[in-house]
Structure 1
Amino acid sequence: MKVYETGSIRNVVLLGHGGAGKTTIAEALAYVTSGINRMGSVDDGNTLSDFDKEEKKRKFSISTSVIPIEYKGESGELKMNILDTPGYFDFVGEVEEAVSAADAAIIVVNGKAGIEPGTVRAWELCEANALPRLFFVSNMDDDKASFRQLVLDLEKQFGKSVAPFQLPIRENEKFVGFVNVVKMAGRRFTKMNEYEACPIPDYVEKHLTIARSALLEAVAESSDELMEKYFAGEEFTVEEIQAALRENVEACKIAPVLMGSGPNVQGFNVLLQVLEKYFPSPESLESIGVDASTGEHFRAKYQSDKSLSAKIWKTIADPFLGKYSLFKICTGVLKANSEIYNVNKESMEKVGKLYLLRGNTPIEVPELKSGDIGAVAKLNISETGDSISVRNAPILYHGPKLSEPFTFMAYRAEQKADEDKLSTALQKMMDEDRTIRLQADPENRQSLIYAIGEQQLEVLASRLKDRYNVSINLEKPRFAYRETIKKTVKVQGKYKKQSGGHGQYGDVVMEFSPSFDYDQAYSFKEQVFGGAVPKNYFPAVEKGIAESCKKGPLAGYPVVGVNAILLDGSYHPVDSSEQAFKTAASMAFKDAFLQASPMLLEPIAHLNVTVPDAFTGDIMGDLNKRRGKILGMTALRDGKQLVEAELPMSNLYLYNTDLRSMTGGAGSFSFYFVRYEQAPGDIQNRVVEESKKMMEE
């Protein structure tokens, strides 16, 4: 593949709900532009995009793939970098990385299924990143696909910016062609993607008039001159319409609606024409960052005659394919066998060969120019989110903004001998997937892994086995309970041991009471009169209390909220020692704790759930079952509600799966720890029993 100038590049991301047909569309675009000789299919596991073993097995995309295609358009030869993203929400990090590198988006909508939660999420991503977009309605070969109803639904959901550029022509319940609303011309498919002119059927006229009027209104609003012409009743030329549409699409004021059939390879000539005419090249955009040498805001056009700067938006760390860093060049030119400066790490790094990745196939190129997307193999220090440049002009770009993972499980190597191997493998997996996080939990002697969803963790476990031959066990985690007391008690702790020669003697009288301050383990005071316990043993007594609080007598969890007062005691001038008084204090603590109505405290989380209005009743009912306390609801824009609640952390385990089930994937959530509260009796009994079993084991 040749090297393309900035103005001849389009970076386009495919977005949409899982199963909408994104991978099939990427495959069809590669096929009609002669990038491949025959169409692969998701079911057969032979597409360019879904090359990973897990993707073939599960029959859906897990990672973002880049499919560069070459297209001979009206303005000459173009290179289009098609970024095929996963549709399932567990892999949203892959989508967010791709969006950070794209300049425009195709939102794929299944013509039969209509608007799905993934369609809405795709639109929201485009809005958040100011990405020009179009809708491509797939599955038009299905006779149950209603294009007109879908357009009405899109307009209702996303507003008047939705503009159909085509209307379908059907004969005998088959999709045979379309009407070009911009050019007011009929088109009939001949051989797959090819078409010829045909009359506009009478039954289309009514809907064509409505679609045309909406389109012309949008064109008129783009300038005062065109508005005057519109009110004067003058016809717009095709050139005027196309110029105004391009301006409006680039400004995110119009979202064209196109249609086609992936399996039948219909509608892709028009899609390619629209990508060329209405989607921006990087040449008309800006790269925005920070000049690391001055700290000042940096803003520059994507130009190849400037100093090199680029951002790494994704890493592939496959043991079979190798490690590749995928980057987008923001300014300048990157050449093979050159040196780059990693701005984040403040270190130089050597670039060897330079590649384009088509799925899992690397294509070597001598250089890549501003605005293009490529890959470098085996960088040692650079990772996703890093910026690269020349040393004397360091520019820092923001990395992809990724969703926070809130689904967590405990993990361990199935074989103890594999622990080191598992640690290394997980680090490589995290290089590739930045939404996976690891956290050590020494208190509960467990390791935690966080992800977006349960399915993501299942894929991770499967890949660990397949790629690195290490098996991982994913389990329900132990939660960070606390122990405390409810009553005030006074006890004596006496430690006396005779063993020939010096013995051990420590004697304390102490009072223990609840402080209700669960942020502190204990407070210690002494009220000893007359030197019953010498002052030099006070620190030893406190140390005995401190060590006792690390592991409570009830279930082995840390103790909090205890006031300890040393009242009295006795000592032996020869046998007393710091160790003896420390032990005596520990004995007093344990005795008092079990007498003072011990109780278990459970961690409470503040939960934020964002859902469409229609699901709020289901959400609140479910939260009540989880012992949640509803704090309030806030109306958000786009018909959504924010439900705030507090509930036990243990009842949030795998909440993501249940939330998606209740909302069809339209809900999202986040949480954070707020405090400890007394656990109900049945919960306390269950946790105590589980702890006993663990100790026995």
Structure 2
Amino acid sequence: MKTYDAKDIRNVLLVGHGGSGKTTLFEAMLFASGAITRMGTVEDGNTVSDHDPDEQHRQISVSLAMAPIEWNNAKINVLDAPGTADFVGDLRSAIRAVDAVIVVVSAVDGVEVQTEFAWELAVEENLPRAVFVNKLDRERADFQATLDQLVSSFGNQVAPFELPIGAEVDFNGIADLLHEKADLYPSGPRAEESEWPDEIHQIADPAREKLIEAVAESDDALIEQYLEEGTLPEDIITRGAKDGFTNARLAPVFVGSASKAIGIDRLLDFIVEEFPSPVDRGPVKVIAKGGEDKERTCDPGGPLTAFVFKTLSDPFVGHITMFRVFSGKVRPDSSVHNSTQGSDERIGQLFSLKGKEHETVSEVPAGDIGAVAKLPHTHTGDTFATKDDPVQLPSVELPEPLLAYAISPKTKGDEDRLATGLARLREEDPTFRVARNDETHQTVIYGMGEAHLGVQIERLKAKFGVEVETRPAKIAYRETIRGKAKAQGRHVKQSGGHGQYAVCEIEIEPLPRGEGFVYEDKIFGGAIPQQFIPSIEKGIVKTMSEGVLSG
């Protein structure tokens, strides 16, 4: 694949609730562009993005996938994020690597929990948001009800740019409100242009007026022109739509059926024509070594600044690092500085990922996304920079794990392989955590839910050959003191020769919560030899670790 200028690159993330059809839409985009010759299905387990055995078995996406698509002399880097709440870590990291988001909504199920969650994440990052209403060919598909839900959930910035022609099994095309034409799909993924059917005018004419109003309301100058003239020329509408979308003031709604590849080519057209390029998104903020804020513009000649948004294990090449370059460029056989870890990494062969396939690239310039293998010190969330100016991009805030399992290997002697496997899985997924609990003597894994931990356990077996047993993690109950107390202990030992005799008086009282343990020695004048005193403190600490009543 050739190297593209930043102005000709589009970085897009597909988000939405699980089951809304993101993976199928991703597949349809690849098919419509000619990147693949046949569409796979989730049910058959042969899609480009769901190539992991866990995904094929569960028929859901459990890991972030990406593929570049060449369309109308532009390169579209499409990322497909899991829609299940258990795998939200990939969504949070990937949203930092793109310039716009497509929220996929099922016309059957409407707006769901993860739809709203993904939307709010995009709002936090100030990313432009478009909506693709999918599955309009299914029974019980209702575009108007879905649109009403979108407006109710996300406000009047939601504006339909297209309307469906036909409903459910009769859905066969779209009415383009922006250019006032119909796109029909009698066969194949490419549309045949025609006039609006007569029956669509009564719905499309008022919808187009509302679209013009929405575009005008996104810009003060346009609203004045609209109020004076009563309408806007098509070129002004198109330019206003792009400006409103780029600045996240307008959320266009597109329609289609991913499984039938209806509306996909028009969605790709809009991505190339109206979605912001990395140049349009403006500079990114970085944090300098001294803590002060700086900015990095999308300039391939500038100092290197790149963000690692995903790491994964490949059975053939090992550790793979996926990164987005914001400034400068990354070349093969060069060295980069990982400013997060404070170490240098040697870059070998660079490539672009298409599902599990690798395509070698000559460089990854500012605005583009690439991948590299075998970087031992680099993890998800790290920043690549120059050694003389080791800036860092703001870190990604990840949620706290919600579920814990205690695990142990089924076979004795697999402890080392288990430790290695857990460490590798932890590097791939920052929301997966591992800890050794010294109080309960258990190895405990933490994750976002049953599906999340179930996938990690299956990967331990498939990738590292370790089968494990799981059980609920034990809870270590703690005791504390609530008042002052004084006690005396005696030590008497006579076993021939010199006997041993000692008396120890201990006073205890509570400290404010969280202040821990303070030991004071109140022996005066050297009445007791110094070498005996530390034993008292050791005995107290040991008893504290075990507990007095329950221990």
Give the TM-score of the pair, scaled to structure 1: 0.73
Work out whether 1:324 is the aligned partner of 2:320. Answer: yes
Amino acid at match of 1:195: A
Bigger strand share: 1
Q: CA deviation at 1:4?
A: 1.0
Question: Which residue of the partner structure matches residue 149 of structure 1?
Answer: 145
Work out whether 1:552 is the aligned partner of 2:547. Answer: yes
Work out whether 1:280 is the aligned partner of 2:256. Answer: no
CA offset digits 1:107-129 (Å, max 9, x no partner): 00011011100110111011011
Checking the alignment, whether the CA contact within 8 Å between 1:309 and 1:329 is kept in structure 2 is yes
Question: Which residue of the partner structure matches residue 78 of structure 1?
Answer: 74
Q: Secondary structure at the match of 1:270?
A: helix
Q: Quick one: which of 415, 422, 426 aligns to 1:426?
A: 422
Q: Secondary structure at the match of 1:101?
A: coil
Cα separation, partners in 2 of 1:511 and 1:337, compared to 1, 3 Å = closer
The correspondence of residues 296-335 of structure 1 with structure 2, limited to 5 A, is 296-335=292-331
CA offset digits 1:414-442 (Å, max 9, x no partner): 33411111111111111110111222321
Q: Quick one: which of 111, 115, 120 aligns to 1:119?
A: 115
Work out whether 1:352 is the aligned partner of 2:353. Answer: no
Count residues in correspondence: 549
CA–CA separation in structure 1 for the residues paired with 2:122 and 2:195? 37
Q: CA deviation at 1:164?
A: 0.6
CA–CA separation in structure 2 for the residues paired with 1:224 and 1:22? 35
Cα separation, partners in 2 of 1:374 and 1:549, compared to 1, 3 Å = closer
Question: Which residue of the partner structure matches residue 360 of structure 2?
Answer: 364
Question: Which residue of the partner structure matches residue 47 of structure 2?
Answer: 47
Checking the alignment, whether the CA contact within 8 Å between 1:285 and 1:301 is kept in structure 2 is no
Q: Secondary structure at the match of 2:213?
A: helix
Amino acid at match of 1:397: L
Q: Quick one: which of 376, 396, 418 aligns to 1:380?
A: 376
Q: Quick one: which of 161, 166, 186 aligns to 2:162?
A: 166
Q: CA deviation at 1:367?
A: 1.4
Checking the alignment, whether the CA contact within 8 Å between 2:159 and 2:211 is kept in structure 1 is yes
Cα separation, partners in 2 of 1:442 and 1:251, compared to 1, 3 Å = same
CA–CA separation in structure 1 for the residues paired with 2:129 and 2:534? 69
Question: Which residue of the partner structure matches residue 100 of structure 2?
Answer: 104
Amino acid at match of 2:36: I
Q: CA deviation at 1:304?
A: 2.0
Amino acid at match of 2:374: K
Q: CA deviation at 1:378?
A: 1.1
Question: Which residue of the partner structure matches residue 637 of structure 1?
Answer: none
**Which shows bigger deviation, 137-146 or 218-227?**
218-227
Q: Quick one: which of 456, 463, 467 aligns to 1:460?
A: 456
Amino acid at match of 1:415: T
Query: Over aligned residues, Cα RMSD in angstroms?
Result: 2.8
**Which shows bigger deviation, 221-230 or 321-330?**
221-230
Cα separation, partners in 2 of 1:222 and 1:497, compared to 1, 3 Å = closer
Checking the alignment, whether the CA contact within 8 Å between 2:403 and 2:449 is kept in structure 1 is yes
Q: CA deviation at 1:488?
A: 8.7
CA offset digits 1:159-213 (Å, max 9, x no partner): 0000011111116851022211112223322213233344534543343244222
Work out whether 1:469 is the aligned partner of 2:465. Answer: yes
Checking the alignment, whether the CA contact within 8 Å between 1:134 and 1:256 is kept in structure 2 is yes
Cα separation, partners in 2 of 1:527 and 1:92, compared to 1, 3 Å = closer
Cα separation, partners in 2 of 1:503 and 1:518, compared to 1, 3 Å = farther
Amino acid at match of 1:59: Q
Work out whether 1:191 is the aligned partner of 2:187. Answer: yes
Structure 2: runs of 5 or more not aligned: none
Cα separation, partners in 2 of 1:417 and 1:545, compared to 1, 3 Å = same
Question: Which residue of the partner structure matches residue 400 of structure 1?
Answer: 396
Checking the alignment, whether the CA contact within 8 Å between 1:489 and 1:512 is kept in structure 2 is yes
Q: Secondary structure at the match of 1:396?
A: coil
Checking the alignment, whether the CA contact within 8 Å between 1:69 and 1:81 is kept in structure 2 is yes
Q: Quick one: which of 205, 214, 217 aligns to 1:218?
A: 214
Cα separation, partners in 2 of 1:418 and 1:220, compared to 1, 3 Å = same
